[in-house]
A = this chain, B = another copy of it.
Amino acid sequence: MADETTTIVIMGATGDLAQRKLLPALFELRCNAGCPEDLRVVGFARTELTDEAFREFMWKGVQEFSSLAIHKHEWDDFAQHLFYVTGSLDEEADIAALGERLNALEGDSGSANRLFYLSISPTLFEATLTNMKATGIADEADGWRRVVIEKPFGRDLASAQALNRTVHNVFREDQVYRIDHYLGKETVQNLMVFRFGNTMFEPIWNRQYVESVQITVAEEVSVGERAGYYDQSGVIRDMIQNHLLQILTMIAMEPPSGVDADSLRNRKVDVLKSIRRWTPEEAVKNAVSAQYEGYLSEPNITPDSTTPSYVALRLYVDTWRWQGVPFYLRSGKSMSDKVSEVVVQFKQPPSVMFGLAHDTDLNPNLLAMCLQPDEGAHLRFEVKVPGQGMTMQSKDMEFHYDDAFGEQAIADAYERLLQDALQGDPALFIRSDHIEEAWRIVDPLLQAWESSSNHKPERYVPGTWGPAAADALLAENGHAWITVCGQHDDEAG
Protein backbone atom coordinates (compact mmCIF):
# COMPACT_ATOMS: atom_id res chain seq x y z
CA MET A 1 0.00 0.00 0.00
CA ALA A 2 1.20 3.46 -0.85
CA ASP A 3 1.74 6.01 1.88
CA GLU A 4 -0.72 8.29 0.14
CA THR A 5 -3.62 7.61 -2.14
CA THR A 6 -5.99 10.02 -3.84
CA THR A 7 -9.50 9.42 -5.08
CA ILE A 8 -11.47 11.69 -7.37
CA VAL A 9 -15.16 11.11 -6.78
CA ILE A 10 -17.25 12.33 -9.69
CA MET A 11 -20.81 12.94 -8.57
CA GLY A 12 -22.83 12.88 -11.78
CA ALA A 13 -20.35 10.61 -13.52
CA THR A 14 -22.50 9.64 -16.49
CA GLY A 15 -23.02 13.22 -17.59
CA ASP A 16 -21.56 14.96 -20.60
CA LEU A 17 -18.92 16.83 -18.64
CA ALA A 18 -17.37 13.69 -17.17
CA GLN A 19 -17.16 11.93 -20.50
CA ARG A 20 -16.15 14.88 -22.64
CA LYS A 21 -13.88 16.78 -20.28
CA LEU A 22 -13.01 15.23 -16.95
CA LEU A 23 -11.90 11.76 -17.93
CA PRO A 24 -10.00 12.89 -21.04
CA ALA A 25 -8.30 15.54 -18.88
CA LEU A 26 -7.43 13.03 -16.14
CA PHE A 27 -6.10 10.55 -18.67
CA GLU A 28 -3.92 13.21 -20.28
CA LEU A 29 -2.72 14.37 -16.89
CA ARG A 30 -1.71 10.83 -16.08
CA CYS A 31 0.05 10.38 -19.44
CA ASN A 32 1.90 13.63 -18.81
CA ALA A 33 2.75 12.42 -15.33
CA GLY A 34 0.78 15.35 -13.95
CA CYS A 35 -1.27 13.52 -11.35
CA PRO A 36 -0.45 11.38 -8.32
CA GLU A 37 0.85 7.88 -9.06
CA ASP A 38 -1.79 6.28 -6.91
CA LEU A 39 -4.89 8.03 -8.19
CA ARG A 40 -8.26 6.40 -8.61
CA VAL A 41 -11.49 7.76 -10.02
CA VAL A 42 -14.83 6.68 -8.63
CA GLY A 43 -17.93 7.59 -10.61
CA PHE A 44 -21.29 7.94 -8.92
CA ALA A 45 -24.63 8.31 -10.68
CA ARG A 46 -28.09 6.81 -10.93
CA THR A 47 -27.51 4.82 -14.10
CA GLU A 48 -26.77 1.20 -13.23
CA LEU A 49 -23.30 0.39 -14.45
CA THR A 50 -20.57 -2.02 -13.52
CA ASP A 51 -17.00 -0.81 -13.14
CA GLU A 52 -16.33 -2.44 -16.50
CA ALA A 53 -19.24 -0.69 -18.23
CA PHE A 54 -18.14 2.64 -16.73
CA ARG A 55 -14.64 2.08 -18.05
CA GLU A 56 -16.05 1.30 -21.49
CA PHE A 57 -18.21 4.45 -21.39
CA MET A 58 -15.24 6.59 -20.48
CA TRP A 59 -13.00 4.97 -23.07
CA LYS A 60 -15.43 6.24 -25.69
CA GLY A 61 -15.08 9.75 -24.32
CA VAL A 62 -11.32 9.63 -24.23
CA GLN A 63 -11.12 8.33 -27.79
CA GLU A 64 -13.43 11.03 -29.03
CA PHE A 65 -12.33 14.03 -26.99
CA SER A 66 -8.73 13.55 -25.91
CA SER A 67 -6.21 15.40 -28.04
CA LEU A 68 -3.46 12.95 -27.12
CA ALA A 69 -2.71 10.09 -29.43
CA ILE A 70 -4.28 7.25 -27.52
CA HIS A 71 -2.25 4.21 -26.70
CA LYS A 72 -4.69 1.48 -25.75
CA HIS A 73 -2.27 -0.18 -23.37
CA GLU A 74 -1.85 3.09 -21.47
CA TRP A 75 -5.60 3.41 -21.26
CA ASP A 76 -5.96 -0.17 -20.04
CA ASP A 77 -3.49 0.59 -17.32
CA PHE A 78 -5.32 3.79 -16.39
CA ALA A 79 -8.76 2.10 -16.57
CA GLN A 80 -7.79 -0.26 -13.76
CA HIS A 81 -8.12 2.78 -11.53
CA LEU A 82 -11.70 3.58 -12.58
CA PHE A 83 -14.59 2.42 -10.47
CA TYR A 84 -18.29 3.06 -10.35
CA VAL A 85 -21.01 3.16 -7.70
CA THR A 86 -24.69 3.33 -8.61
CA GLY A 87 -26.89 5.53 -6.47
CA SER A 88 -28.98 8.66 -5.98
CA LEU A 89 -27.50 11.87 -4.64
CA ASP A 90 -30.61 12.50 -2.56
CA GLU A 91 -30.55 9.07 -0.90
CA GLU A 92 -28.45 9.12 2.23
CA ALA A 93 -28.07 5.35 2.12
CA ASP A 94 -26.62 5.52 -1.39
CA ILE A 95 -24.06 8.12 -0.36
CA ALA A 96 -23.23 5.95 2.62
CA ALA A 97 -22.68 3.02 0.24
CA LEU A 98 -20.38 5.25 -1.84
CA GLY A 99 -18.47 5.99 1.36
CA GLU A 100 -18.06 2.29 2.07
CA ARG A 101 -16.77 1.61 -1.41
CA LEU A 102 -14.28 4.45 -1.01
CA ASN A 103 -13.09 3.04 2.30
CA ALA A 104 -12.70 -0.37 0.74
CA LEU A 105 -10.75 0.95 -2.24
CA GLU A 106 -8.52 3.05 -0.06
CA GLY A 107 -7.79 0.12 2.24
CA ASP A 108 -5.43 1.00 5.00
CA SER A 109 -3.41 3.58 3.07
CA GLY A 110 -1.34 5.89 5.18
CA SER A 111 -3.32 8.85 4.04
CA ALA A 112 -6.33 8.80 1.75
CA ASN A 113 -7.29 12.02 -0.02
CA ARG A 114 -10.67 12.64 -1.62
CA LEU A 115 -11.54 15.18 -4.26
CA PHE A 116 -15.30 15.38 -4.78
CA TYR A 117 -16.25 16.72 -8.18
CA LEU A 118 -19.86 17.90 -8.18
CA SER A 119 -21.02 17.76 -11.77
CA ILE A 120 -24.67 17.86 -10.79
CA SER A 121 -27.87 19.82 -11.26
CA PRO A 122 -28.26 22.86 -8.97
CA THR A 123 -31.54 21.40 -7.76
CA LEU A 124 -29.61 18.52 -6.14
CA PHE A 125 -27.01 20.63 -4.38
CA GLU A 126 -28.70 21.01 -1.05
CA ALA A 127 -29.61 17.33 -0.77
CA THR A 128 -26.21 16.11 -1.93
CA LEU A 129 -24.29 18.22 0.53
CA THR A 130 -26.67 17.35 3.35
CA ASN A 131 -26.09 13.66 2.67
CA MET A 132 -22.32 14.14 2.43
CA LYS A 133 -22.44 15.81 5.83
CA ALA A 134 -24.70 13.11 7.33
CA THR A 135 -22.61 10.21 6.09
CA GLY A 136 -19.27 11.76 7.02
CA ILE A 137 -17.96 10.95 3.54
CA ALA A 138 -16.25 14.33 3.35
CA ASP A 139 -14.99 14.45 6.92
CA GLU A 140 -11.28 14.99 7.10
CA ALA A 141 -9.59 11.86 8.38
CA ASP A 142 -6.10 10.78 7.38
CA GLY A 143 -6.12 12.68 4.11
CA TRP A 144 -7.44 15.90 2.71
CA ARG A 145 -10.96 16.50 1.44
CA ARG A 146 -11.70 18.99 -1.33
CA VAL A 147 -14.73 19.75 -3.44
CA VAL A 148 -14.85 21.07 -6.99
CA ILE A 149 -18.10 22.82 -7.83
CA GLU A 150 -19.34 23.58 -11.32
CA LYS A 151 -21.39 26.63 -12.10
CA PRO A 152 -24.05 27.90 -11.81
CA PHE A 153 -23.20 29.39 -8.43
CA GLY A 154 -26.69 30.66 -7.79
CA ARG A 155 -28.92 32.74 -10.00
CA ASP A 156 -28.67 35.97 -8.02
CA LEU A 157 -26.98 37.28 -4.89
CA ALA A 158 -29.44 35.73 -2.44
CA SER A 159 -29.31 32.25 -3.94
CA ALA A 160 -25.50 32.40 -4.21
CA GLN A 161 -25.26 33.34 -0.56
CA ALA A 162 -27.55 30.44 0.34
CA LEU A 163 -25.44 28.09 -1.78
CA ASN A 164 -22.26 29.27 -0.10
CA ARG A 165 -23.82 28.64 3.31
CA THR A 166 -24.78 25.12 2.25
CA VAL A 167 -21.28 24.40 1.00
CA HIS A 168 -19.66 25.88 4.10
CA ASN A 169 -21.81 23.60 6.19
CA VAL A 170 -19.67 20.73 4.89
CA PHE A 171 -16.43 22.31 3.66
CA ARG A 172 -14.24 25.15 4.85
CA GLU A 173 -13.71 27.79 2.14
CA ASP A 174 -10.13 26.63 1.62
CA GLN A 175 -11.47 23.19 0.66
CA VAL A 176 -13.77 24.62 -2.00
CA TYR A 177 -12.70 24.83 -5.65
CA ARG A 178 -15.38 26.66 -7.65
CA ILE A 179 -14.49 26.16 -11.26
CA ASP A 180 -14.72 28.70 -14.06
CA HIS A 181 -13.01 26.92 -16.91
CA TYR A 182 -12.14 30.29 -18.46
CA LEU A 183 -9.53 30.69 -15.75
CA GLY A 184 -7.78 27.52 -16.91
CA LYS A 185 -7.39 28.76 -20.47
CA GLU A 186 -3.80 29.45 -21.44
CA THR A 187 -4.67 32.77 -22.97
CA VAL A 188 -6.57 33.93 -19.90
CA GLN A 189 -3.61 32.86 -17.76
CA ASN A 190 -1.41 34.77 -20.15
CA LEU A 191 -3.22 38.00 -19.28
CA MET A 192 -1.26 37.90 -16.03
CA VAL A 193 2.03 37.43 -17.84
CA PHE A 194 1.07 40.04 -20.39
CA ARG A 195 0.51 42.63 -17.73
CA PHE A 196 3.05 41.72 -15.09
CA GLY A 197 5.79 39.87 -16.93
CA ASN A 198 6.41 42.81 -19.24
CA THR A 199 7.64 46.33 -18.65
CA MET A 200 6.01 47.95 -21.64
CA PHE A 201 2.34 47.70 -20.90
CA GLU A 202 1.90 48.50 -17.23
CA PRO A 203 2.99 52.18 -17.50
CA ILE A 204 0.18 52.88 -19.97
CA TRP A 205 -2.38 50.63 -18.32
CA ASN A 206 -4.44 53.35 -16.72
CA ARG A 207 -6.90 56.19 -17.24
CA GLN A 208 -4.20 58.54 -18.46
CA TYR A 209 -3.58 56.47 -21.59
CA VAL A 210 -6.55 54.13 -21.97
CA GLU A 211 -9.68 55.40 -23.68
CA SER A 212 -11.81 52.31 -23.14
CA VAL A 213 -11.70 48.55 -22.65
CA GLN A 214 -13.88 46.11 -24.54
CA ILE A 215 -14.46 42.50 -23.60
CA THR A 216 -16.27 40.34 -26.13
CA VAL A 217 -17.24 36.70 -25.69
CA ALA A 218 -19.30 35.85 -28.74
CA GLU A 219 -20.74 32.48 -29.68
CA GLU A 220 -21.73 31.54 -33.19
CA VAL A 221 -24.10 28.79 -32.05
CA SER A 222 -27.71 29.36 -31.06
CA VAL A 223 -29.18 28.07 -27.81
CA GLY A 224 -29.63 24.64 -29.41
CA GLU A 225 -30.21 21.74 -27.06
CA ARG A 226 -29.61 23.85 -23.97
CA ALA A 227 -32.63 26.02 -24.78
CA GLY A 228 -34.71 24.96 -21.77
CA TYR A 229 -31.92 25.67 -19.30
CA TYR A 230 -30.78 28.75 -21.16
CA ASP A 231 -34.18 30.37 -21.19
CA GLN A 232 -34.22 30.17 -17.40
CA SER A 233 -30.85 31.84 -17.06
CA GLY A 234 -29.92 34.02 -20.04
CA VAL A 235 -26.60 35.47 -21.06
CA ILE A 236 -26.01 37.49 -17.88
CA ARG A 237 -26.03 34.37 -15.71
CA ASP A 238 -24.52 32.13 -18.38
CA MET A 239 -21.57 34.33 -19.39
CA ILE A 240 -21.38 37.85 -17.98
CA GLN A 241 -21.54 37.22 -14.22
CA ASN A 242 -18.79 34.62 -14.43
CA HIS A 243 -16.53 34.59 -17.51
CA LEU A 244 -16.63 38.24 -18.58
CA LEU A 245 -16.34 39.66 -15.08
CA GLN A 246 -13.42 37.29 -14.45
CA ILE A 247 -11.63 38.62 -17.49
CA LEU A 248 -12.44 42.17 -16.43
CA THR A 249 -10.83 41.61 -13.03
CA MET A 250 -7.64 40.39 -14.67
CA ILE A 251 -7.46 43.43 -16.95
CA ALA A 252 -8.29 45.95 -14.24
CA MET A 253 -6.61 44.52 -11.13
CA GLU A 254 -3.73 46.15 -9.31
CA PRO A 255 -0.50 44.13 -9.32
CA PRO A 256 -0.80 41.37 -6.71
CA SER A 257 2.13 40.80 -4.42
CA GLY A 258 2.38 37.27 -5.79
CA VAL A 259 0.46 34.62 -7.66
CA ASP A 260 -0.52 32.70 -4.56
CA ALA A 261 -4.24 32.16 -4.32
CA ASP A 262 -5.16 34.83 -1.84
CA SER A 263 -2.89 37.59 -3.15
CA LEU A 264 -4.41 37.09 -6.56
CA ARG A 265 -8.01 36.68 -5.48
CA ASN A 266 -7.90 39.63 -3.09
CA ARG A 267 -6.92 41.90 -5.97
CA LYS A 268 -9.68 40.50 -8.15
CA VAL A 269 -12.32 41.04 -5.50
CA ASP A 270 -10.99 44.59 -5.07
CA VAL A 271 -11.89 45.23 -8.70
CA LEU A 272 -15.40 43.86 -8.34
CA LYS A 273 -15.94 45.96 -5.24
CA SER A 274 -14.82 49.03 -7.17
CA ILE A 275 -17.25 48.59 -10.03
CA ARG A 276 -19.74 51.41 -9.81
CA ARG A 277 -22.98 50.09 -8.37
CA TRP A 278 -26.18 50.63 -10.27
CA THR A 279 -29.66 51.31 -9.11
CA PRO A 280 -32.05 49.33 -11.32
CA GLU A 281 -32.81 52.63 -13.13
CA GLU A 282 -29.15 53.28 -13.83
CA ALA A 283 -28.61 49.68 -14.81
CA VAL A 284 -30.99 49.79 -17.75
CA LYS A 285 -29.35 52.97 -19.05
CA ASN A 286 -25.97 51.22 -19.15
CA ALA A 287 -27.11 47.98 -20.74
CA VAL A 288 -28.74 46.57 -23.83
CA SER A 289 -30.51 43.22 -23.90
CA ALA A 290 -31.46 41.46 -27.07
CA GLN A 291 -32.72 38.20 -28.53
CA TYR A 292 -31.72 36.93 -31.93
CA GLU A 293 -34.56 36.71 -34.42
CA GLY A 294 -36.06 33.26 -34.10
CA TYR A 295 -35.14 32.83 -30.43
CA LEU A 296 -38.78 32.67 -29.38
CA SER A 297 -39.49 29.91 -31.93
CA GLU A 298 -36.72 27.63 -30.64
CA PRO A 299 -37.98 24.43 -28.96
CA ASN A 300 -38.32 24.68 -25.16
CA ILE A 301 -38.34 28.48 -25.11
CA THR A 302 -41.24 30.17 -23.36
CA PRO A 303 -43.19 31.92 -26.15
CA ASP A 304 -43.19 35.34 -24.43
CA SER A 305 -39.68 34.96 -22.97
CA THR A 306 -37.71 38.15 -22.41
CA THR A 307 -34.52 36.25 -21.54
CA PRO A 308 -31.65 37.92 -23.38
CA SER A 309 -29.45 35.85 -25.69
CA TYR A 310 -27.24 38.95 -26.03
CA VAL A 311 -26.23 41.63 -23.58
CA ALA A 312 -23.97 44.66 -23.83
CA LEU A 313 -22.93 46.57 -20.71
CA ARG A 314 -21.03 49.70 -19.86
CA LEU A 315 -19.29 49.42 -16.50
CA TYR A 316 -16.99 51.80 -14.64
CA VAL A 317 -14.23 50.69 -12.30
CA ASP A 318 -13.99 53.49 -9.77
CA THR A 319 -10.34 53.13 -8.79
CA TRP A 320 -7.49 55.61 -8.95
CA ARG A 321 -6.29 53.73 -12.02
CA TRP A 322 -9.51 53.46 -13.98
CA GLN A 323 -11.99 56.13 -12.98
CA GLY A 324 -13.80 57.46 -16.02
CA VAL A 325 -12.66 54.71 -18.39
CA PRO A 326 -15.64 52.74 -19.70
CA PHE A 327 -15.40 48.96 -19.68
CA TYR A 328 -17.71 47.58 -22.36
CA LEU A 329 -18.78 43.96 -22.06
CA ARG A 330 -20.79 42.02 -24.61
CA SER A 331 -21.71 38.43 -25.04
CA GLY A 332 -24.27 36.62 -27.10
CA LYS A 333 -25.36 33.59 -29.03
CA SER A 334 -25.96 33.37 -32.78
CA MET A 335 -23.37 36.03 -33.37
CA SER A 336 -21.14 36.67 -36.35
CA ASP A 337 -18.21 34.67 -35.08
CA LYS A 338 -16.99 32.55 -32.20
CA VAL A 339 -14.47 34.83 -30.58
CA SER A 340 -13.30 35.87 -27.12
CA GLU A 341 -11.15 38.93 -27.00
CA VAL A 342 -10.13 41.91 -24.94
CA VAL A 343 -9.47 45.17 -26.74
CA VAL A 344 -7.70 47.95 -24.90
CA GLN A 345 -8.16 51.14 -26.87
CA PHE A 346 -5.68 53.89 -26.12
CA LYS A 347 -6.27 57.60 -26.30
CA GLN A 348 -5.64 59.50 -29.49
CA PRO A 349 -2.22 61.05 -29.90
CA PRO A 350 -2.07 64.82 -30.44
CA SER A 351 -2.97 65.33 -34.07
CA VAL A 352 -1.22 68.49 -35.07
CA MET A 353 2.35 67.38 -35.51
CA PHE A 354 2.04 65.98 -39.00
CA GLY A 355 0.49 69.10 -40.43
CA LEU A 356 -3.01 67.69 -40.06
CA ALA A 357 -5.85 70.01 -39.17
CA HIS A 358 -6.39 70.41 -35.44
CA ASP A 359 -9.66 68.57 -35.56
CA THR A 360 -8.37 65.62 -37.57
CA ASP A 361 -8.49 62.49 -35.53
CA LEU A 362 -5.60 60.11 -35.74
CA ASN A 363 -6.49 56.48 -35.23
CA PRO A 364 -5.98 55.47 -31.64
CA ASN A 365 -3.69 52.53 -30.89
CA LEU A 366 -5.21 49.40 -29.61
CA LEU A 367 -4.03 46.20 -28.05
CA ALA A 368 -6.18 43.14 -28.66
CA MET A 369 -5.66 40.05 -26.57
CA CYS A 370 -7.20 37.13 -28.38
CA LEU A 371 -8.39 34.42 -26.01
CA GLN A 372 -9.99 32.16 -28.60
CA PRO A 373 -10.04 30.79 -31.16
CA ASP A 374 -7.01 32.47 -32.76
CA GLU A 375 -5.05 32.77 -29.53
CA GLY A 376 -2.54 35.59 -29.54
CA ALA A 377 -2.24 39.36 -29.54
CA HIS A 378 -2.49 42.25 -31.96
CA LEU A 379 -0.99 45.65 -31.36
CA ARG A 380 -2.58 48.07 -33.79
CA PHE A 381 -0.40 51.08 -34.46
CA GLU A 382 0.08 53.76 -37.05
CA VAL A 383 2.65 53.38 -39.75
CA LYS A 384 3.66 55.65 -42.55
CA VAL A 385 2.12 54.67 -45.86
CA PRO A 386 4.97 54.31 -48.34
CA GLY A 387 5.24 57.24 -50.64
CA GLN A 388 5.50 60.99 -50.62
CA GLY A 389 4.03 62.90 -47.71
CA MET A 390 3.09 61.72 -44.25
CA THR A 391 0.01 59.58 -44.70
CA MET A 392 -0.62 57.13 -41.89
CA GLN A 393 -2.45 53.86 -41.78
CA SER A 394 -3.28 51.41 -38.98
CA LYS A 395 -1.44 48.13 -39.10
CA ASP A 396 -1.03 45.29 -36.64
CA MET A 397 1.99 43.81 -34.99
CA GLU A 398 0.82 40.29 -34.41
CA PHE A 399 1.59 37.31 -32.26
CA HIS A 400 -0.10 33.94 -32.65
CA TYR A 401 0.27 31.11 -30.18
CA ASP A 402 0.14 28.44 -32.82
CA ASP A 403 2.96 30.06 -34.81
CA ALA A 404 5.03 30.28 -31.68
CA PHE A 405 4.30 27.03 -29.91
CA GLY A 406 2.63 24.77 -32.49
CA GLU A 407 -0.98 23.87 -33.11
CA GLN A 408 -1.30 21.40 -30.26
CA ALA A 409 0.37 23.50 -27.61
CA ILE A 410 -2.70 24.75 -25.80
CA ALA A 411 -3.92 22.23 -23.27
CA ASP A 412 -7.51 21.92 -22.22
CA ALA A 413 -8.50 24.16 -19.34
CA TYR A 414 -9.82 21.21 -17.31
CA GLU A 415 -6.46 19.48 -17.36
CA ARG A 416 -4.82 22.52 -15.82
CA LEU A 417 -7.58 23.07 -13.27
CA LEU A 418 -7.84 19.43 -12.17
CA GLN A 419 -4.12 19.33 -11.56
CA ASP A 420 -4.28 22.54 -9.53
CA ALA A 421 -7.12 21.09 -7.44
CA LEU A 422 -5.16 17.87 -6.87
CA GLN A 423 -2.14 19.93 -5.84
CA GLY A 424 -4.22 22.12 -3.55
CA ASP A 425 -3.70 25.39 -5.40
CA PRO A 426 -6.99 27.31 -5.51
CA ALA A 427 -5.54 30.39 -7.26
CA LEU A 428 -7.51 29.72 -10.44
CA PHE A 429 -10.74 28.90 -8.63
CA ILE A 430 -13.33 31.34 -7.48
CA ARG A 431 -13.64 32.38 -3.89
CA SER A 432 -17.06 32.79 -2.29
CA ASP A 433 -16.71 36.54 -1.86
CA HIS A 434 -15.86 36.91 -5.56
CA ILE A 435 -19.04 35.06 -6.51
CA GLU A 436 -21.14 37.26 -4.29
CA GLU A 437 -19.55 40.54 -5.44
CA ALA A 438 -20.12 39.54 -9.04
CA TRP A 439 -23.80 38.98 -8.32
CA ARG A 440 -24.00 42.37 -6.60
CA ILE A 441 -22.94 43.94 -9.91
CA VAL A 442 -25.52 42.26 -12.14
CA ASP A 443 -28.39 41.90 -9.66
CA PRO A 444 -29.82 45.41 -10.18
CA LEU A 445 -29.90 44.79 -13.92
CA LEU A 446 -31.58 41.40 -13.55
CA GLN A 447 -34.09 42.94 -11.16
CA ALA A 448 -34.81 45.82 -13.52
CA TRP A 449 -35.35 43.55 -16.50
CA GLU A 450 -37.04 40.62 -14.83
CA SER A 451 -39.42 42.57 -12.61
CA SER A 452 -40.64 44.90 -15.33
CA SER A 453 -43.41 43.88 -17.66
CA ASN A 454 -42.29 46.73 -19.92
CA HIS A 455 -38.90 45.22 -20.61
CA LYS A 456 -38.62 44.13 -24.21
CA PRO A 457 -35.27 42.87 -25.46
CA GLU A 458 -34.00 44.27 -28.75
CA ARG A 459 -33.83 42.04 -31.80
CA TYR A 460 -30.75 41.15 -33.84
CA VAL A 461 -30.23 39.17 -36.98
CA PRO A 462 -28.51 35.84 -36.30
CA GLY A 463 -24.93 35.90 -37.55
CA THR A 464 -24.40 39.60 -36.80
CA TRP A 465 -22.61 41.46 -34.02
CA GLY A 466 -25.83 42.29 -32.18
CA PRO A 467 -28.47 45.01 -32.19
CA ALA A 468 -28.04 48.63 -33.23
CA ALA A 469 -28.85 49.66 -29.67
CA ALA A 470 -25.51 48.20 -28.57
CA ASP A 471 -23.74 50.45 -31.06
CA ALA A 472 -25.75 53.38 -29.77
CA LEU A 473 -24.69 52.58 -26.21
CA LEU A 474 -21.03 53.07 -27.14
CA ALA A 475 -21.78 56.01 -29.41
CA GLU A 476 -22.98 57.88 -26.31
CA ASN A 477 -19.27 58.03 -25.34
CA GLY A 478 -18.03 58.52 -28.89
CA HIS A 479 -16.90 54.89 -29.10
CA ALA A 480 -17.61 51.91 -31.33
CA TRP A 481 -17.28 48.16 -30.99
CA ILE A 482 -14.05 46.77 -32.33
CA THR A 483 -13.34 43.24 -33.48
CA VAL A 484 -9.70 42.45 -34.12
CA CYS A 485 -8.92 38.83 -33.40
CA GLY A 486 -9.11 36.39 -36.25
CA GLN A 487 -8.72 39.22 -38.74
CA HIS A 488 -5.60 39.40 -40.79
CA ASP A 489 -3.49 42.45 -41.05
CA ASP A 490 -4.47 43.30 -44.60
CA GLU A 491 -8.09 43.64 -43.48
CA ALA A 492 -7.23 46.02 -40.69
CA GLY A 493 -6.83 49.18 -42.78
Q: How far is the CA of A353 from the CA of B383 in the complex (A)?
A: 35
Contacts of A209 in B (CB 8 A): 199-200, 203
Contact B386 A410 (CB under 8 A): yes
Contact B259 A353 (CB under 8 A): yes
- Whether A385 contacts B405 in the complex (CB less than 8 A), given A259-B390, A349-B197, A353-B259, comes out as yes
Contact A395 B390 (CB under 8 A): no
Count A-side interface residues using an 8 Å CB cutoff: 64
Contact A404 B383 (CB under 8 A): yes
Instruction: Report how many copies the assembly holds.
Output: 2
Contacts of A34 in B (CB 8 A): 388
Contact A405 B386 (CB under 8 A): yes
Q: Which of A332-371 contact B (CB under 8 A)?
A: 346-349, 352-355, 362, 364-365, 367
Smallest distance from the beta carbon of A389 to chain B beta carbons, Å?
10
Contact B399 A383 (CB under 8 A): yes
A53 an interface residue at 8 Å Cβ cutoff? no
A379 an interface residue at 8 Å Cβ cutoff? yes
A416 an interface residue at 8 Å Cβ cutoff? yes
Contacts of A256 in B (CB 8 A): 353
A186 an interface residue at 8 Å Cβ cutoff? yes
**What 9 pairs between A and B have smallest CB-CB spacing?**
A397-B397, A197-B382, A386-B409, A190-B384, A193-B384, A397-B399, A199-B346, A200-B365, A199-B349
25 contacts across the A-B interface (CB closer than 8 A) = A186-B386, A189-B390, A192-B390, A193-B383, A193-B392, A196-B349, A197-B353, A197-B384, A198-B381, A200-B204, A200-B365, A203-B209, A255-B353, A257-B353, A258-B352, A259-B354, A386-B401, A387-B411, A396-B399, A397-B399, A398-B398, A399-B489, A403-B489, A403-B490, A404-B489
